[in-house]
């Protein structure tokens, strides 16, 4: 017994680099940012829709035309289309409005933090037990499911909460906004999670083959 992780060889260096260093640095930066944000929330007031005086949400479903003030800078025959997306604010929001505002911001932040923590745990497990072990493959599988399912849950939660908040700030005679499943779908995170699930399965099969080979030798 040399105390080296399974699958590691002398002279190969750390097979987890540069991912291990990047994840460690990101965890340190995240800790600093969360500390600063908590300090700002206490000193200034306002974090995820709570503590400040107003709640605002941008209506990305609607575009309105603006004044054609750029026409003086255009050459003859050219045109310009000035549009903007309206932003609604409630200066005296209720607890329900603040909760909806929180649900439009917090899930994505929680997903990123959770993914980083799981990735850090994966790196630690690979360092301690080796990258080609059942435990490491299991942690990779957990990260894959977390990204695949968590990205969809966050998307649904933020979109539905945003539509509900907009409907609560719009006039009653406006048609209620409905959730659009195709708008802003996190395809990258979803595909990344699915890819990690496939990679975890490959690692598990490879680990079983390596253990069988060691048993034969």
Alpha-carbon span 19 to 23, nearest angstrom: 6
Predicted local confidence at residue 193, as pLDDT: 93
List C-alpha distances in Å: 75 to 67, 70, 80: 18, 11, 11
- How much is the average pLDDT of 184-204? 90
Most confident residue range from 61-75, 87-101, 188-202: 188-202
Closest CA to 116 of 212, 189, 46: 189
Q: Which of 31-40, 47-56, 194-203 has the lowest mean pLDDT?
A: 47-56
3-class secondary structure, 212: helix
- How much is the average pLDDT of 70-82? 61
Q: Which residues sit opposite 56 in a β-bridge?
A: 89
- Confidence band of 102 (pLDDT split at 50, 70, 90): confident
Say yes or no to pLDDT of 44 above 70: no
3-class secondary structure, 186: coil
* Other beta carbons less than 10 A from residue 201's beta carbon: 14
Say yes or no to pLDDT of 152 above 70: yes
Alpha-carbon span 117 to 97, nearest angstrom: 30
Helix axes 106-129, 95-103, angle to 10 degrees: 40
Backbone angles phi, psi at 143, to 5 degrees: -65, -40
* Tokens at 25, concatenated: 């640095």
The domains of the chain are located at 57-87, 93-217
Say yes or no to pLDDT of 63 above 80: no
Say yes or no to pLDDT of 40 above 50: yes
Predicted local confidence at residue 42, as pLDDT: 46
């Amino acid at each position: 017994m040399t105390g080296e992780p399974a699958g590691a060889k002398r002279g190969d260096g750390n097979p987890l680099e540069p991912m291990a260093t990047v994840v460690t640095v990101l965890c340190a930066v995240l800790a600093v940012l969360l500390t600063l944000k908590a300090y700002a929330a206490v000193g200034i007031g306002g974090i995820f829709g709570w503590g400040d005086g107003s709640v605002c949400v941008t209506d990305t479903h609607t575009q309105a035309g603006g004044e054609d003030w750029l026409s003086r800078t255009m050459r003859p025959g050219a045109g310009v289309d000035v549009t903007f997306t309206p932003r609604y604010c409630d200066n005296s929001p209720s607890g329900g409005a603040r909760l909806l505002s929180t649900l439009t911001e917090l899930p994505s932040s929680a997903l990123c933090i959770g993914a980083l923590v799981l990735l850090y745990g994966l790196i630690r497990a690979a360092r301690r037990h080796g990258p080609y072990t059942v435990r490491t493959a299991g942690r990779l599988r957990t990260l894959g499911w977390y990204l695949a399912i968590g990205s969809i849950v966050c998307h649904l939660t933020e979109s539905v909460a945003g539509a509900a908040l907009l409907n609560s700030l719009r006039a009653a005679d406006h048609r209620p906004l409905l959730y659009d499943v195709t708008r802003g779908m996190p395809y990258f995170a979803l595909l990344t999670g699915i890819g990690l699930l496939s990679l975890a399965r490959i690692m598990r099969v490879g680990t079983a083959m390596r253990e069988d080979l060691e048993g034969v030798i």
